[in-house]
A = this chain, B = another copy of it.
């Protein structure tokens, strides 16, 4: 399973980066192959200063070895070796009318001292972080997520949409990071879902990513925007940084397992502002966004 999934994310990385380069038209992804001293490594691909994408990364990694102490405590195990692989992407477009997107699909195996698999699961999801709300874009994104889910279980979309809203909650701001999408974790074999069924589900979601995001980019990338709208985007990017550094378990996992710092923190936006007590005007589009983030809603 681990070889099959690693093969899958390699191909998915290729198809995503080539599609995004075609949309951008100017910038190309820069590739860095890296090795983790304790075992494994990855292939980081970063795009910067593009016509459409100001900064973005589409990274794969496969790491293995002794589970770090902090993770042993987290999982409540004593001696354990692990394998983890996944694709992580974050795209920060230049135009504030185009939302930032994040996605991650991953697979995890844990072994006893004889090398037998004692636990294995999939996880992942994708979520959208707009700076301005276009209802039809939000609906489109969630519809694609729902269609992918519905092919596998009629309850998946509602369940994973709610988990996504809960996970990407910027607790210290009492607001969501964005308008959500899907989040699933610890997807283990059950009577109704074998690991092969989970593989089919996760790859279905991964395959739907470009369809969920690209039409939104195409529709909004050439819209005009003002300096004030650009400032709003940079202030909101500050909230993205706060979530990733204070709350995101994925980022913390990367830091604790001695992951490659530049690959983990490629998720941070390029230009960011923190302005003291910045408050949008009443009844403005900026206030509309905040109201939606304070109270996550149903889009489909």
Q: Are B270 and A271 in contact (CB under 8 A)?
A: no
Complex contacts, A55 vs chain B, CB 8 Å: 274, 276
The copy count of this chain in the complex is: 2
Interface segment, one of A119-127, A147-155, A190-198, A239-247: A239-247
Which residue of the partner chain B has the closest CB to A265? B274
Q: Residues of B contacting A261 with CB < 8 Å?
A: 172-173
Contact B276 A262 (CB under 8 A): yes
Is A32 interfacial (CB-CB < 8 Å)? yes
Taking the complex as formed, is A296 at the interface, i.e. its CB lies under 8 A from any CB of chain B? Answer: no
User: In angstroms, how far is the closest chain B Cβ from the Cβ of A70?
Assistant: 13
Check A266 for interface membership: any CB of B closer than 8 A: yes
* Known A245-B245, A266-B276, A272-B272; 8 more pairs at CB < 8 Å: A238-B268, A242-B245, A246-B246, A262-B276, A268-B274, A269-B274, A270-B273, A272-B274
- In whole angstroms, how far apart are the Cα atoms of A233 and B36 in the complex? 30
A46 contacts partner chain B, Cβ-Cβ < 8 Å: yes
Task: State how many residues of chain A have any CB contact under 8 Å with chain B.
Answer: 28
Whether A57 is near chain B, meaning CB under 8 Å from some CB there, is: yes
* Docked complex Cα distance between A235 and B255 (Å): 20
A282 contacts the other chain (CB 8 A):
no
In the assembled complex, the Cα of A173 lies from the Cα of B277 at a distance in Å of 30
Instruction: Tell me the A201-228 residues at the B interface (CB within 8 Å).
Output: none
A48 contacts the other chain (CB 8 A): yes
Which one, B32, B46, B245, B276, contacts A241 given CB within 8 A?
B245
Majority SS at the chain A contact face: mixed
Whether B245 and A57, one on each chain, are in contact in the complex, defined by CB atoms closer than 8 angstroms, is: no
Which A residues are within 8 Å of any B CB, using their own CB? 30, 32, 46, 48, 55, 57, 172-173, 238, 241-242, 245-246, 255, 261-262, 265-266, 268-277
A4 to chain B, nearest CB (A): 30
Cβ contacts under 8 Å, A245 to chain B: 241-242, 245-246
Closest Cβ neighbor of A245 among chain B residues = B245
CB contacts (< 8 Å) of A277 on chain B: these are: 32, 46, 262
* 8 contacts across the A-B interface (CB closer than 8 A): A46-B276, A55-B274, A241-B272, A242-B265, A246-B246, A265-B274, A271-B272, A272-B273
Using CB atoms, name the residue of chain B closest to A255. Answer: B172
A242 to B32, CA, bound (A): 23
Which residues in B have their C-beta under 8 angstroms from that of A242?
245, 265
Most interface-central of A32, A242, A274 (chain B CB within 10 A): A274
Instruction: Tell me, in angstroms, the Cα distance from A48 to B276 when the chains sit together.
Output: 8
CB distance from A265 to the nearest CB of B (A): 7
